[in-house]
Structure 1
Amino acid sequence: MTDEDTATVTVRYTCPHCGAVTSVERTPDLADRSVTTRQQAGWEYARPGDDDLEDADGIAFLCGEDDPVTDLDGNEIEGCGRPYYLNFVRYEQGVELEPDPPTYGGPRFDFQA
């Protein structure tokens, strides 16, 4: 295993309910699709800090319950305790799957250029 295999980055996500910011340490090769207020049907979600993020379809957060959260300036605040979901880009047989917008059920934050 090389240093490149174990490299991680800290990525920040904003709760779509209250605007609290949480940080996740993860590998840089995971591609984010969106942050939503509801789970995608049939997707498997890991918890922040799980060792198997690469095997999941996304991360399920409980705002302020998983880790400390901050405001946009970095001041520690209390989260709202509501769930939200980070959805990774998914592939099936090498083809990127397009999520079904009606299943999002909330704000959509796409990370496409």
Structure 2
Amino acid sequence: MTVTVRYTCPHCGAVVSVEREPDLADRSVTTVPQPGWEYAEPDGDLESADGIEFHCGEDGDVTDLDGDPVAGCGRPFYLNFVRYEQGIELEPEPPTYGGPRFDFNA
């Protein structure tokens, strides 16, 4: 059984839909890939991937939040799945949240 899941492009706000297994757990959507993670195309082998690489508007139809068709920006973004190694949840490197911050204005 598959479900349709919708993701919002972090660049332009367009909505991308993908059919996938319901037991895949999402961690985050990022504008850059996680180092060392393997990404599948939206219609690829999602079960063996660490996430999905989308190209907004190029991988299929995109809509606005109300469901009306839009063009999409063409920029890549990444859905990162929760990953496990020997039953322990792995954190992205660098983390997609709460990571180091640099102040270049000092």
Q: TM-score range by the shorter chain?
A: 0.7 to 0.9
1: distance between equivalents of 2:69 and 2:63?
A: 4
Count of aligned positions:
97
- Give the alignment's TM-score, normalised by structure 1: 0.82
TM-score of the pair, normalised by structure 2: 0.88
Distance in 2 (alpha carbons) for counterparts of 1:98 and 1:43:
11
Q: Which structure shows the higher helix fraction?
A: 1
**In the aligned structure 2, how far is the partner of 1:34 from the partner of 1:100?**
13
Calculate the aligned-residue CA RMSD, in Å: 1.1
Alpha-carbon distance in structure 2 between the residues aligned to 1:48 and 1:18: 19
Q: Say whether residues 1:26 and 2:20 are aligned partners.
A: yes
Quick one: percent identity of the two aligned structures?
A: 76
Runs (4+) of structure 1 exceeding 2 A deviation are none
- Structure 1 gaps of 5+ residues are 1-6, 109-113
**5+ long unaligned stretches in structure 2:** 98-106
Where 2:80 maps in the other structure, the secondary structure is strand
Higher strand share: 2
User: Which structure's relative contact order is higher, taking Cα pairs within 8 Å and 6+ residues apart?
Assistant: 1
- DSSP-derived class of the 1:84 partner: strand
Give the corresponding residue for 1:42. 36
